């Protein structure tokens, strides 16, 4: 999330009434963490955070296994209100929490016990704002550092520049090297590296490609890197679209990834809408990204920008959030079908700036984080023939009442 969007959400959270937990905590709740607990939910009001564990169908395993108020052994930096989950799980089944700005800390947790195994600082002397982690080898993890250091040292080997992929040893926390992404940003823009994902034998990283003050942006960029060496392996620009860093959704079977571009909020309504779209980025024979399909936000019904939350159902179909407005227009889910060339509403709406992460559940289900200020919950659906049927919702944080915003499988 950009700082502007984060600030807006924080204002909304601070002015809201306390969330009411007016329903059952969800079917199957037994507060026992076992192998069926495979999904993590980050609940946050952008001031404090709690982490709950869910089963693959969205039912609650354990609420608040770790919170901003937790002080278990191994914690030197308490969780802030800006915590997210990595796109891909860790290979050893640990729960990885990315504490972004200003903490710049990765917290690795044993899900069965809530024990903090270790905390890894990735700030190198400044608030680097890490956005994603990808484990590329047993002794190597890549971390996207969204922010650049405004006052780096002149010494290149201290790895304090930012705007890069930082390579670390996750077992020890040792900093190994950095992959500079500034060469792939537009002139006058910062790279703002964001999401990481596998594309065959290459790793793709999205770049926000935004101005230092977030008031302008170049075209969306997807860069391919060699996971063994970090060497550049290809790049594509999404001409005419901006602020495309927050999504890299690889479908089952791979072949490429879906990317959602919000446009730049500070440009104003019309320029933002014109620069918002959803793109299928295909993988060529060498693993490099190449644009294969796009739909512009201004060409579909609501006439509002797309958000970053997006779920890749297949290489042909994706579910995406259309953003609401503070004037009363709701957030909504839409289905993009590139095979049919259609974009259709799914009939799911909630307050503006409330729809968060989307996650595939068991048996073709869909989990939707709904941070509605009055009734925060995890909404559960089955998707068939292009329509959604809603099942019982789940309160993901019955202990504190925080809103669910981030969802991901951790094993």
| Residue spans per domain, the chain | 3-409
CB atoms within 10 A of CB 25: 18
| The pLDDT value given to residue 18 | 37
Higher-confidence position of 156 and 232: 232
Provide the whole-model pTM: 0.91
User: Which pLDDT belongs to residue 27?
Assistant: 36
End-to-end Cα, the chain, rounded Å: 24
> Minimal CA–CA distance to 338: which of 264, 408, 256, 223?
256
Residue whose token pair is 């890197």: 225
H or E stretch including 11? helix 3-15
Q: What is the pLDDT of residues 22-46, one digit of tens each?
A: 333 443 334 458 889 999 999 999 9
Architecture of domain 3-409: 7 Propeller (2.130)
| pLDDT-derived band at 208, boundaries 50, 70, 90 | very high
What is the average pLDDT score of the chain? 92
Give CA separation, 147 vs 212, 243, 336, in Å: 9, 15, 31
Lowest pLDDT segment from 112-121, 178-187, 283-292, 350-359: 112-121
- Asked if residues 38 and 85 have their Cβ atoms less than 8 Å apart, the reply is no
Q: Is the peptide bond before 364 cis (omega within 30 degrees of 0)?
A: no
Per residue in 248-307, pLDDT (tens digit) is 999 999 999 999 999 999 999 999 999 999 999 999 999 999 999 999 999 988 899 999
DSSP 271-323: HHHHT-EEEEEEE-TTS-EEEEEEEEGGGSTT---EEEEEEE-SSSEEEEEEP
272-302: b (≥16 Cβ within 10 Å) or e: bbbbbbbbbbbbeeebbbebbbbbbbbebeb
Q: How confident is the model at residue 335 (pLDDT cuts 50, 70, 90)?
A: very high
Q: What is the band of 12 on the pLDDT scale with cuts at 50, 70, 90?
A: very low
pLDDT digits over 352-410, tens only? 999 999 999 987 899 999 999 999 999 999 988 888 999 999 999 999 999 999 999 99
Query: Which residue, chain included where needed, has tokens 């559940």?
Result: 361
How high is the pLDDT of residue 79? 96
Average pLDDT over residues 160-181: 97
Position 63 pLDDT exceeds 90: yes
Confidence band (pLDDT; 50, 70, 90) for 219?
A: very high
Residue 32 confidence (pLDDT): 59
What is the C-alpha separation between 337 and 320, in angstroms, rounded?
Answer: 11
Residue 114 has pLDDT above 80, yes or no: yes
Report the candidate in 219, 223, 238, 120 with the shortest Cα–Cα distance to residue 164: 223
**Dihedral of the alpha carbons of 171, 107, 184, 211, in degrees to the nearest 10:** -160
By the 8 A CB rule, do 291 and 236 touch?
yes
Instruction: At 80, list the tokens.
Output: 């802030």
Lowest-confidence range among 31-40, 140-149, 213-222?
Answer: 31-40
Q: How far is CA 61 from CA 25, 108, 115, 358, 402, in A?
A: 10, 19, 16, 19, 17
Instruction: Check residue 364 and report its DSSP letter.
Output: G
Q: Which two tokens stand for residue 367?
A: 């989990």
Beta bridge partners of 250: none
315, 251 contact by CB (below 8 A): yes
């Amino acid at each position: 999330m950009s700082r502007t969007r984060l600030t807006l959400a924080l204002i909304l959270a601070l002015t809201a009434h306390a969330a009411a937990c007016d329903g059952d905590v969800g079917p199957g709740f037994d507060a026992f963490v076992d192998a069926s607990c495979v999904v993590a939910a980050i609940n946050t009001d952008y001031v404090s955070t709690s982490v709950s564990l869910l089963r693959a169908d969205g039912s609650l395993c354990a609420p608040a296994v770790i919170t901003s108020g937790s002080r278990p052994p191994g914690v030197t930096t308490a969780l802030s209100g800006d915590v997210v989950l990595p796109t891909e799980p860790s290979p050893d089944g640990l729960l990885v929490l990315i504490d972004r700005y200003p903490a710049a800390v990765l917290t690795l947790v044993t899900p069965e016990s809530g024990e903090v195994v270790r905390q890894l600082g990735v700030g190198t002397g400044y608030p680097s704002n890490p956005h994603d982690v990808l484990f590329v080898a047993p002794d190597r993890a890549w971390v996207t550092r969204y922010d650049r250091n405004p006052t780096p040292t002149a010494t290149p080997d201290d790895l304090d520049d930012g705007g890069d992929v930082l390579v670390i040893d996750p077992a020890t926390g040792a900093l190994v090297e950095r992959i500079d992404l500034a060469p792939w940003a537009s002139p006058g823009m910062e790279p703002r590296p964001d999401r990481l994902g596998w594309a065959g034998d290459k790793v793709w990283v999205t770049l926000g490609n935004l101005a230092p003050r977030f008031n302008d942006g170049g075209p969306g960029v997807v860069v391919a890197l060699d996971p063994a060496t970090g060497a550049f392996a290809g790049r594509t620009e999404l001409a005419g679209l901006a602020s495309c860093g927050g999504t890299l959704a690889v479908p089952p079977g791979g072949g490429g990834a879906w990317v959602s571009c919000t446009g730049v909020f500070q440009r104003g309504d019309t320029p933002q809408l014109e620069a918002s779209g959803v793109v299928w980025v295909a993988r060529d024979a060498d693993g490099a990204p190449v644009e294969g399909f796009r739909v512009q936000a201004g060409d579909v019904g609501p006439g509002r920008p797309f958000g970053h939350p997006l779920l890749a159902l297949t290489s042909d179909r994706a579910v995406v959030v259309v953003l609401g407005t503070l004037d009363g227009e709701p957030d909504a889910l839409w289905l993009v079908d590139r095979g049919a060339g259609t974009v259709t509403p799914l009939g799911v709406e909630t307050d503006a700036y409330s729809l968060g992460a989307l996650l595939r559940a068991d048996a073709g289900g869909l989990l939707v984080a709904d941070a509605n200020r009055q009734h925060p919950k995890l909404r559960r659906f089955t998707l068939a023939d292009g329509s959604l049927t809603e099942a019982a919702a789940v309160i993901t944080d019955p202990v504190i009442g925080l809103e669910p915003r981030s969802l991901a499988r951790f094993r």
